[in-house]
Amino acid sequence: MNKKILGVDFGDVRTGLALSDITGFLASGAGTLKGGFEKTALGVSEVAKKNDVGLIVLGHPINMNGTLGPRSEKIKAFAKRLSELTDIEVVLFDERLSTANAHTILNMTNTRGEKRKSIIDEMSACLILQSYLDSKQVKKGE
């Protein structure tokens, strides 16, 4: 697939975005969107179309014990809406610990205050997408 992959960390207030390179090897931050469910779905759809995206990877909040909570249903509804708006396949990908890992990285770089708030969601999307890309690289190498 010579198209980019869009990583999405959906949130009620802010949604982080990340894009892969066309080789599907490296994820980089692509900003954040603010707004509710529909406004964010429309925003993600615009970003996907503008960047010639061939796949959307949406962080799926699975509980640490492997169960699905109420948040999972909202993510599934968001995935369905994205599919309707874009005609692009949407893959749900386990996002456990992505936000915690993003906080760890920001702590290590001593990023605080407003700057931290503005990039945490984008960084979480990057970590989700990079984990997805890495899982595909491992399968290719088997």
CATH code for position 66? 3.30.420.140
For 85-127, how does the pLDDT look when each residue is reduced to its tens digit (9 = 90+)? 999 999 999 876 556 666 676 667 666 666 656 677 888 899 9
Q: What is the residue whose two structure tokens read 């995935």? A: 79
Quote the percentage of the chain above a pLDDT of 70. 79
Mean pLDDT of 51-77: 88
DSSP letter for 28, please. E
Structural domains in the chain (count): 1
Domain limits for position 125: 4-141
Query: Cα angle at 21 between 15 and 140, to 5 degrees?
Result: 105
Handedness of CA 118, 76, 72, 27 (dihedral sign): negative
Beta strands in 66-127 (DSSP E): 89-94
Q: What is the residue whose two structure tokens read 């290590």? A: 108
For residue 60 the two structure tokens come to: 């799926």
Asked if residue 139 has pLDDT above 80, the reply is no
